[in-house]
Amino acid sequence: MQDNTIHIVADIDALSAAAAQRWAALSAHAIAASGQFHVALSGGSTPRYLFERLAGADYAARVDWRHTHVYFGDERYVPSDHADSNFRMAYEALLRHVPVPAQQIHRVQTELPSAAAAAAAYEAVLNSHLPRDAYGNAAFDLMLLGVGPDGHIASLFPGTDILQEDTRLVAASYVDKLAAWRISVTLPVINHARHIMMLAAGAGKTQILSYVLGASPGSEPLPVQMIEPTGGMEWYVDEAAAQGLATR
Ligand code: 6PG
């Protein structure tokens, strides 16, 4: 994993404020340059705080939602109204509150008969909507990512075959430890993003952060250590998650 900037802030509230400001800046830059902003949301619990802040009055005017395209870096293979759905979380926390045109909200169609079918359909969505970088790679303007205590990012879990996928943009992955199917963008898509924002908060992330940011990858790097960004990459971490970092 290449060097990247680490922003250490007091708590989840400060983390969400800092990340929201960065989102607004990246969005304004992309829209000024290309007329649109293509962002992939992460799931789990941390980003909810960011989404709720972006849904607030002060960001209603600061972000050009009508020129924003929203995607999902990964999704659980559950109905979109299921409690575990990343779409449902994002819809409730952000998307129902901001004027992103419905046709610009690109949900993973988990109603399709298999996770593989949902992944194939989503790959077609990325291929038809995402801008290309100078090398022809589909490139998000911003990729939000969290990191699990085991070092997973999106739904790229340690020891899963999807980590070796270097052709497809999206794939289905059965995660043994969760006994569940996931749909996820692959590492090349993450690496080709123009900007990656990693969000990590809470004492539960202390160990993984000090391992990942404090040490060079071991013989078998964790998924989060396999990120080789071609664009920018920043970490937004709170004090609790950063307590093991040497830079403290
Ligand atoms: C998911 C996420 C996943 C998440 C990490 C961290 O679908 O669960 O995309 O990769 O980002 O598990 O989740 P927390 O922010 O809840 O710790």
Per-residue model confidence as pLDDT tens digits over 1-34: 455 799 999 999 999 999 999 999 999 999 999 9
- Summary mean pLDDT of the chain: 95
User: Which among 231, 230, 234, 240 is positioned nearest to 208, based on CA atoms?
Assistant: 240
Q: How far away, in angstroms, is 158 Cα from ligand 1 center?
A: 14
CA distance 15 to 4: 17
CA distance 38 to 40: 7
Q: How far away, in angstroms, is 32 Cα from ligand 1 center?
A: 31
Whole-number pLDDT of residue 60: 85
Query: 187-221 burial string, b = 16+ CB within 10 Å, else e?
Result: bbbbbbbbbbbbbbbeeebbebbbbbbeeeeeeeb
Q: Which atom of ligand 1 is nearest to the CA of 156?
A: 10
The average pLDDT across 128-140 equals 97
The average pLDDT across 82-92 equals 98
Does 86 sit in the ligand 1 pocket, CB within 6 Å? yes
The average pLDDT across 196-216 equals 91
Q: What is the pTM of this model?
A: 0.96
Residue 214 pLDDT > 80, yes or no? no
The pick from 12, 74, 88, 208 for probing ligand 1's pocket by mutation, whose C-beta has the most ligand atoms within 8 angstroms, reads: 74
For 147-164, write each residue's pLDDT tens digit. 999 999 999 999 999 999
* Full 3-state SS string of the chain: CCCCEEEEECCHHHHHHHHHHHHHHHHHHHHHHHCCEEEEECCCCHHHHHHHHHCCHHHHCCCCHHHEEEEECEEECCCCCCCCCHHHHHHHHHHCCCCCCHHHECCCCCCCCCHHHHHHHHHHHHHHHCCECCCCCECCCEEEEECCCCCCECCECCCCHHHHCCCCCEEEEEEHHHCEEEEEECHHHHHHCCEEEEEECCHHHHHHHHHHHHCCCCCCCCHHHHCCCCCEEEEEEEHHHHCCCCCC
Residue % of the chain over a pLDDT of 90:
92
Residue 220: band (very low, low, confident or very high) from pLDDT cuts 50, 70, 90: confident
Does 46 sit in the ligand 1 pocket, CB within 6 Å? yes
Does 224 sit in the ligand 1 pocket, CB within 6 Å? no
